[in-house]
Structure 1
Amino acid sequence: MSVKNDLTQIKNEFDKDGQILENAFRFEILLRRYKKSLIALLVLVMAGIVYMGVSSYLTQQRHTKANEAYREILKAQTPELLETLKQNSPILYDFYLYTHNPSEETLQSLMKSKNELIAQIATYEHIQHTLDSLLAPSSESSTDSNPSEVFATLPPLQDKTLQQWLLLQQAAILLQKGYKQEAKDKLMLLDENSDFARIGKALRHYQ
């Protein structure tokens, strides 16, 4: 029985070795067949790693330059520093423009900012200038124009909170101009479950 077991064990060892050799031959055949594809894949992986490393480095460099430019601009604004900030961080550039007494022309450019928050705030600020002009005593539009016609020309707002607040402001202007029914129609657009609706309800009872 011992000899038979030994022979069986030896046979199993040969079978294992045969399988190893067979797998090695198969791997070699696959390697030869797909050698070019594997090399191309390896090159792509290496290129991707290099690209990610370079991209990360360049991004960090841009952030550093933008921060330095922003810090220096707060001390003394120059066209060169503004351009550096714009090239390296457009969002920070837009933020700087908005927070430093922007002109109407600048506000209109900020309405196209890639940062949605800045774009919405700039749009709202632009709308405020238009609404203020309706109430200005020296403005022709304050006496001659129907406010609803002016409202129709205003750019859209995406932010729901700002939309609701703007409806209240428009209703107040309509009331001041004597367009009571139009003001009430405007107030009916308010979200009835919002805090704005409470103010709107009070305005609807204004005589």
Structure 2
Amino acid sequence: MSIQDDVKYVKSELSGDEKILESAFKLETLYKKYKLLIWGAAAAVLLFFVGTTAMEAIRDARLADANNAFLTLQKKPDDASALKTLKEKNPELFELFTFSQAAKKQNVAALKALTSSKNEVLADSSRYVTATLEKKETESKLYKEMAELNAAYLALKAGNISHAKEKLELIDERSAVAPIATLLKHATLKAK
């Protein structure tokens, strides 16, 4: 019996090895059939990761250059090379820096140029500051109540009391500018 058991064991081992060899041959056939596709997919995945890493490195370098230029401009606002670098490497930050400098220097021409900015916050701020410097009324999403207060002041100054009252009524009592609006309302009472 022992020999028969050994024969059965050897047969089962051989059939297991045959199955492994058969699987290996199938895998080899499959590999030969789709070799180009497999290597192409592997190359595409590798190129994707290499490309992503390269793009991130380029973006990080651009941001580092722009940040260095911005830090230089904070110390020396008239540094031409830093302005050029900032404009090339980070146009949005360049616009913001230009706005801050134009507002500080009350440069209406530079502020007017920024009113067409793609950045809506910067464009709205530029319109508001430009109108304030030119002593004109304006509409503003960011400075709505300040624009209404400015319009009321300009109307009072021009002697248009009714228009000033209309503008002052648009300012919410909970607003930070409400005390100033209240003072201007009292000025409209005296102006009658």
- Structure 2 length normalisation: TM-score? 0.67
The superposition leaves residues 124-152 of structure 1 with CA deviations (integer Å, 9 ceiling, x where unpaired) of: 21121122xx6xxxxxxxxxxxxxxxx3x
Aligned-pair CA distance for 1:17: 7.9
Q: Distance in 1 between matches of 2:25 and 2:166?
A: 83
CA contact (8 A) 2:153 2:164 kept: yes
Q: Which secondary structure does the structure 2 equivalent of 1:194 belong to? A: coil
Q: Which secondary structure does the structure 2 equivalent of 1:99 belong to? A: helix
Q: Distance in 2 between matches of 1:166 and 1:17?
A: 87
Greater radius of gyration (CA): 2
Establish whether residue 167 from structure 1 lines up as the match of residue 148 from structure 2: yes
Establish whether residue 158 from structure 1 lines up as the match of residue 136 from structure 2: no
The alignment of Structure 1 onto Structure 2 pairs a total of residues equal to 182
The correspondence for 2:160, drawn from 170, 174, 179, is 179
Aligned-pair CA distance for 1:48: 1.9
Identity fraction in percent:
26
Change (3 A) 1:30 1:72: same
The correspondence for 1:110, drawn from 102, 111, 114, is 114
Establish whether residue 66 from structure 1 lines up as the match of residue 49 from structure 2: no
Aligned-pair CA distance for 1:108: 1.8
Aligned-pair CA distance for 1:83: 1.5
- Which residue does the alignment assign to 1:86? 87
Q: Structure 1: where are the runs of 5+ without partners?
A: 135-150
Aligned-pair CA distance for 1:192: 5.1
Change (3 A) 1:26 1:158: farther
Question: 2:141 is aligned with what amino acid?
Answer: Q
Please tell me the root mean square deviation across aligned C-alpha atoms, in Å: 3.9
Q: Distance in 1 between matches of 2:123 and 2:98?
A: 12
The superposition leaves residues 36-90 of structure 1 with CA deviations (integer Å, 9 ceiling, x where unpaired) of: 4443333332222122222122222223333443454434734343222211122
Change (3 A) 1:82 1:22: same
The correspondence for 1:123, drawn from 113, 123, 127, is 127
Query: 4+ runs of 1 displaced by more than 6 Å?
Result: 20-23
Q: How does 1:35-54 map to 2 (within 5 A)?
A: 35-54=35-54
CA contact (8 A) 1:91 1:114 kept: no
The superposition leaves residues 149-168 of structure 1 with CA deviations (integer Å, 9 ceiling, x where unpaired) of: xx3xx4x5332xx1111111
Question: 1:90 is aligned with what amino acid?
Answer: P
Question: 2:87 is aligned with what amino acid?
Answer: K
Change (3 A) 1:21 1:95: same
Q: Structure 2: where are the runs of 5+ without partners?
A: none
The superposition leaves residues 78-110 of structure 1 with CA deviations (integer Å, 9 ceiling, x where unpaired) of: 434322221112233223323332622211222
Q: Distance in 1 between matches of 2:168 and 2:27?
A: 76
